[in-house]
Chain A
Amino acid sequence: MIYDFSRVLAIVVLSVSFASSVRAQNKLNVVTTLPDLESIVYSVGGDLVEVTSIATGYQNPHFVDPKPSFIMRLTRADMFVTVGLDLETGWVPSLLNSARNPDITPGSEGYVDTSINIPLLDVPSSVSREQGDIHVFGNPHYWLDPENGKIMAETIRDALVRLQPESATLFDSNLESFLTQIDIKIEEWNAEMKPYKGQRLIAYHNQWPYLEAAFGVIAIDFLEPKPGIPPTPSQLAKIISLMKQESLSTIIIAPYFRTDSADLVARNVSGNVVILAASVGAFSEIKTYFDLFDYNIARLKEAFDSPGS
């Protein structure tokens, strides 16, 4: 009796562990640089992927610290997804070099750069660091336009199919439902933003051109005198004059920048500082790529509806 019971138990334990190991083997282990990519990979990969992001949504994606603990995750990854251009140039190369994983090095099947096929904005005609920390390939914050999210999802689908061709139909149908869903949402967002088309504002750092292009708002100047250079008194004075002259009241800023200088300018022009989400996870309620736009549009509408609050 006891012998039988233990035999049953052994079989159950064995089969469960076998089943879970098979599942673990089938699941693609995906590591992304940003949580926005994580969200899209999850939408397309569904239950067939295990996906994590290195950066959080509330940190500056240019300055992620390459902690050794990230290397461990990359060592085991089947696929690595990066925003590319020169967004992560300070930390991704060193992490990939240390990860010793030939499956995810640039050029291999598991290396996915989602900037491919993206129509880039702010591509410079000349490159000098005299201009500050400019992006040589164009502005890399392209995930902030939901139309680009569709292109990224297609790039990610292609990569998942490359690594796991037997699941192609599932990835295809997941992609289809993502695209359908986002098209519905894009219509909603456009309708919501329609009354505010052409609204002008000030940004702390030039990181919103894609959001601006998508929803028709315009950042006419920046608190940073040059990209990556902290605000100077002369720049703030210039912005205050500009905002008064043009009757602007909104300053947008990402959560990882100090708001001291933006607050100061806002006080001088009776305007308001709006902390927009630069990525999924910037605030606890932003759990998916869709939430990112829901949140930002709600904040922009609030700001435009009640200037100077």
Chain B
Amino acid sequence: MVWGFFIFPSEITFAQQPDSSAVQDSLLAALQKEMASFAEPDGQAQSGRTAARLVPTRNPDISVIGDIRAGYRSDGERNVDLGVEEIELALKSVIDPYARADVYLSMASEDGEIKFELEEAFITTMSLPHTLQLKAGKFRNTVGKINLIHPHALPFVTMPAVYTNFLGDEGLNDQGVSLSWLVPNGSFYQELTFEITRGPDESPSFSTDDGNRLLYTGHLKNFWDLSENSTFELGLTGINGPNDLGLTSTLAGFDITYKWKPVRYNRYKSFTLQAETFFSFRSTDSGRINSMGLYALASYQLAERWMLLARYDHSDLPDDPDWNENGVSSTLGWLLTEFQKVEFGVRRSWGDKIETSYAGVVRVVFVIGTHGAHQY
């Protein structure tokens, strides 16, 4: 499988050679149209050169992220819906030379009603020795490849079924402590994370225990630069904790990501292959239930502002290995600037126990305020 990845980039490079004549012809047509209606040029140089420097402040970095949607689904009573999916307020700052704090407040729609939620709020150390980092508070657990990413920042409109069926509608988000360590192995990036959390309120696999039992999450991230333009990541996840029966559930996960992004033209071209699988072992009074789920996606950047993604989902339910939900979905992303994107998503779902259904969503995501971090 890995060798397949090695062969891919060269093919992509050929496929990606810009067809400059076609681009230029279409551009030329639009240009001629513009020029016809064009009279006097306005030859002013951009922006004056003034000398006022901005005054720094001690306010935290503040940003507001909005996710506004309109959607159609073929199943259920109400087939069309539209409105605000989520407004997120992010506040981040260094506290002192020793730690930083991140707070994310979420106002999310639940069937049209906007509900306030503390999405994340944690303190992170900045000066522990031996490349250790400690995080405490409420945070997204370090699970797989996408659990750490807020839904509006994901390149697709709906979460993979394996995430919603095993971890929760927006993944696993719990309260407690997280300790991570950059393993000094000298040759490649390796990060080991161990988390102890109280147990989530809402999750299909895990619950808050009535007694003293807690949820344990472990993750090992391995990352290699294959070349200047391509990278490869392997991750292992294990979660163990109480389930809603008061017994124990265990999830084991495996994620694999290949990314090609040419350094010189990284604004124009990229290609990603990513897959994750989870195996669930759930204890019940009548014995152990084993179930699994997975997704695999390919994402291809068509042009500077256009991203096309296709994904396949397959998932059981933690308490029903015969549930067998399947889905194929595609998202076309139009990335206007770093601060705004419009995404068009379509999805077909089917399974032995569920009716085949279709859904389509258009969403606009915007960011105002502090410049966010780029993702890799």
Spell out A's residues near B (CB within 8 Å). Answer: 56, 58-60, 63-69, 71-72, 75, 86, 89-91, 93-94, 97, 100-102, 105, 107-108, 120-125, 127, 129, 131, 133-134, 136-138, 206, 209, 218-222, 228-230, 233-234, 236-238, 240-242, 245-246, 255-256, 258, 260-261, 263-264, 268
Contacts and interface: CB of A to CB of B under 8 A. Distances in A.
A222 B46 contact: yes
B189 interface: yes
Contact of A65 (B18, B261, B305, B339): B261
Interface residue range, chain B? 35 or more
B264 to A, nearest CB: 5
B283 to A, nearest CB: 36
Contacts of B18: 258, 260
Contact of B46 (A68, A107, A206, A255): A206
A58 B264 contact: yes
B225 A69 contact: yes
Contacts of B228: 56
Given A102-B127, A124-B47, A237 B38 contact: yes
Given A65-B261, A72-B189, A133-B337, 10 more contacts: A59-B266, A60-B266, A100-B132, A124-B47, A233-B30, A237-B34, A237-B35, A237-B38, A258-B304, A264-B31
B257 to A, nearest CB: 11
A209 B46 CA distance: 11
A283 to B, nearest CB: 11
B23 interface: yes
Contacts of B287: none
A137 B189 contact: no
B97 interface: yes
Given A107-B97, A233-B27, A237-B31, A122 B42 contact: no
A125 B268 contact: no
A236 B43 CA distance: 13
A133 B266 CA distance: 18
Interface string B21-58: 00110011011011100101111111111111110000
Interface stretch (B103-111, B138-146, B293-301, B368-376): B368-376
B267 interface: yes
Main secondary structure of the interface of B (DSSP, over half): loop
B223 A91 contact: no
A123 B53 contact: yes
From B132, B223, B264, B375, name the one whose CB has the most chain A CB atoms within 10 angstroms. Answer: B264
Given A234-B34, A256-B265, A68 B223 contact: yes
B284 interface: no
Interface string B190-211: 0100000000000000000000
Interface string B327-367: 00000000001110000000000000000000000000000
Contact of B28 (A65, A72, A101, A264): A264
Contact of B43 (A121, A242, A255): A242
B128 interface: yes
A306 to B, nearest CB: 23
A124 B373 contact: no
A246 B43 contact: yes
Contact of B48 (A105, A107, A125): A125
Contacts of A121: 49
B17 to A, nearest CB: 12
24 contacts: A56-B228, A59-B264, A60-B267, A63-B266, A67-B231, A71-B182, A75-B182, A90-B371, A91-B374, A97-B100, A97-B126, A102-B97, A108-B97, A125-B52, A136-B54, A138-B53, A206-B47, A220-B43, A220-B45, A245-B41, A256-B267, A258-B304, A260-B24, A263-B24
A18 to B, nearest CB: 20
B20 interface: yes
Nearest to B35: A237
Contacts of B147: none
Given A60-B267, A65-B261, A260-B18, A238 B374 contact: no
